[in-house]
Structure 1
Amino acid sequence: MSKAKHHLAVFPGSFDPVTFGHLDVIARGRRLFDELVVAVGHHPGKESLFSPEDRVEMVRALVRDMVADEPGLAAVRVEAFSGLTVDFARSLGATALLRGIRNLSDLQYEVQYAVTNREVAGLETAFVVAGQSFAYTSSSLIKQIAAMGQDLEKGLESMCPPSVIRAIAEKKTQGHPVLDKLASAGTIGGEE
């Protein structure tokens, strides 16, 4: 009798910052796979609000709480990576990538990558559709609201956890080039 295959999925993203939508995908991924790796990507050419190390620590703290609340589900590791997602996933022996879909434009964008990843790397992509409350949440929108808004807690409470709001507020108080650039642009809207 052959041993059942261990299904490890990688959920890649910038998580800059981590949102309730990201946490929803992680929670649902724990029900679909034997193990889940949350892959916090670092793109050297892209300016981030939080360092890769800070993003990894934020996600780890939130995942730790999630795992403690539901210990019987799949284990979750949080790791930083740079380079191609498929290379990182293959290095871990992943059987799939996990992606969240908020709307049709997300689906269109993600399907292109899913087909390429399957053909080039032999890696399948599993999609989970976001709950209605996360359909318009994005890290980009959170940063725009933070740059423009005064009451961050009220403006962001439906989009990200209190610990993340506090970290964003600290960046805003200290002044940060990402928030300053968004504030000088003076508009809110867009997707990540």
Structure 2
Amino acid sequence: MSQLTDEELMTAVSKGNLDSMSFLFERYHLRIFNFLCQMTNGDRDLSEDITQEVFYKAIKYKSTYHGGKFASWMFTIARNSLNNHHRKKKEKIDRLDDVAYKLSEVNNGKHDDLSHLSLMLNKLDDQDKELIVLNRLQEIKYDQLAEMMGSTAGAVKVKVHRAIKKLKTFYFQD
């Protein structure tokens, strides 16, 4: 079973073989968690909760999987789950307050390159941040991102390039 592709395993799950989901969980739970952690500004508890919800939904809605890239399908569920969480809680994060708080941490000497990058990612709007996290950190390919976002690979590539350009501006500005 462990030699099967993600798509073959999910097809087995959709046909009722729920044991196959354990292999998919092992392959994807850290990737989903890391993506959510980035998107929630490091809120590990929230990221864990939503990661569990993502796998619950994958099992609950297994019949909606009709082939295609499994990674795209899972990250779409993750994105939608995070958006639903924000919608339900009506959480509006004031980016300026968040950045000011993190800047004070930086000034207190708790700064390294990774935290600086994370800080600069938080300056981006949610769509740009999401594109960079999915493409560069989670290594989701342009065609898979296009499938997730209902766009074309070329359009997604341009958006990622523009988001990286913005990130570079923020990163080297500070």
Q: Tell me, yes or no, whether TM beats 0.5.
A: no
More helix as a share of residues: 2
> TM-score normalized by structure 2?
0.28
Q: Which has the higher contact order (CA 8 A, sep 6+)?
A: 1
More strand as a share of residues: 1
